[in-house]
Chains A and B, each alone.
Chain A
Amino acid sequence: MARVRSWVSGAMAAAVGLSLAGCSSTGGKRAEDRAARAAAVGKAAVNTPKWKFAMVTHSGDGDTFWDIVQKGSQQAAAKDNITFLYSHSEEGQQQAQLVQTAIDQKVDGLIVTLAKPDSMKAVVAKAEKAGIPVITVNSGSEVSKKFGALTHIGQDETIAGEAVGNELNKRGRKRALCVLHEQGNVGHEQRCAGARKTFHGKLQNIYVDGTNMPDVQSSIEAKLQADQSIDSVVTLGAPFADAAVQAKDTAGSKAEIDTFDLNAKVADALQKGTLGFAVDQQPYLQGYEAVDLLWLYKYNRNVLGGGLPVLTGPQVITKQDASALADYTKRGTR
Chain B
Amino acid sequence: MSATLEAPDERLLRPSLLRRLLGRPELGSVVGAVAVFVFFSVVAESFLRPSSLSTVLYAASTLGIMAVPVALLMIGGEFDLSAGVMVTSSALVSSMFSYQMTANVWVGVVVSLLVTLALGVFNGFMLTRTKLPSFIITLGTFLMLTGLNLGFTKLISGTVSTKSIGDMEGFPSARKVFASQLTIGDVNLKVTLLWWAALIAVATWVLLRTRAGNWIFAVGGNDDAARAVGVPVVKTRIGLYMGVAFAAWISGQHLLFSYDAVQSGEGVGNELTYIIAAVIGGCLITGGYGSAIGSAIGAFIFGMTNKGIVYAEWNPDWFKFFLGAMLLLAALLNAWVRKRAEASR
Contacts and interface: CB of A to CB of B under 8 A. Distances in A.
Interface of A: 11, 14-15, 18-19, 21-32, 60-64, 67, 183, 204-207, 209, 211-215, 217-219, 221-223, 225-227, 239, 242-243, 246, 250-252, 263-265, 332
B37 interface: no
Given A214-B255, A225-B49, A207 B263 contact: no
Interface string B231-265: 00000000000000000000000110011010111
Given A24-B102, A61-B265, A15 B313 contact: no
Contacts of B146: 61
Given A214-B255, A222-B55, A252-B51, A28 B98 contact: yes
15 contacts: A11-B118, A15-B97, A15-B107, A23-B101, A23-B102, A27-B102, A28-B99, A31-B102, A62-B149, A205-B317, A212-B266, A214-B255, A222-B310, A225-B51, A251-B51
Main secondary structure of the interface of A (DSSP, over half): helix
A70 to B, nearest CB: 10
Contacts of B264: 62
Interface in B87-130: 97-107, 110-111, 114, 118
A25 B107 CA distance: 13
Contact of B311 (A25, A26, A225, A250): A225
Interface in B53-77: 55-56, 58-59, 62
B10 interface: no
Indicate the member of B110, B170, B258, B263 with the most A CB atoms within 10 Å.
Answer: B263
B316 interface: yes
Contact of B168 (A27, A217, A219): A27
Given A22-B170, A246-B258, A30 B102 contact: yes
A63 B160 contact: yes
B6 interface: no
B41 interface: no
B206 interface: no
Nearest to B46: A226
B265 A218 contact: no
Main secondary structure of the interface of B (DSSP, over half): helix
A178 B238 CA distance: 45
B173 interface: no
B214 to A, nearest CB: 27
B55 A251 contact: yes
Contacts of A206: 310, 316
Given A18-B110, A211-B270, A225-B52, 14 more contacts: A15-B114, A19-B97, A19-B103, A21-B107, A23-B104, A24-B169, A27-B168, A62-B264, A206-B310, A207-B320, A214-B59, A214-B258, A226-B52, A250-B55
A23 B311 CA distance: 46
A209 B51 CA distance: 22
B295 to A, nearest CB: 17
A28 B102 contact: yes
A205 B316 contact: yes
In order of increasing CB-CB distance, the 10 nearest A-B pairs are A62-B265, A28-B102, A22-B104, A24-B169, A27-B168, A27-B167, A30-B102, A218-B59, A214-B62, A222-B310
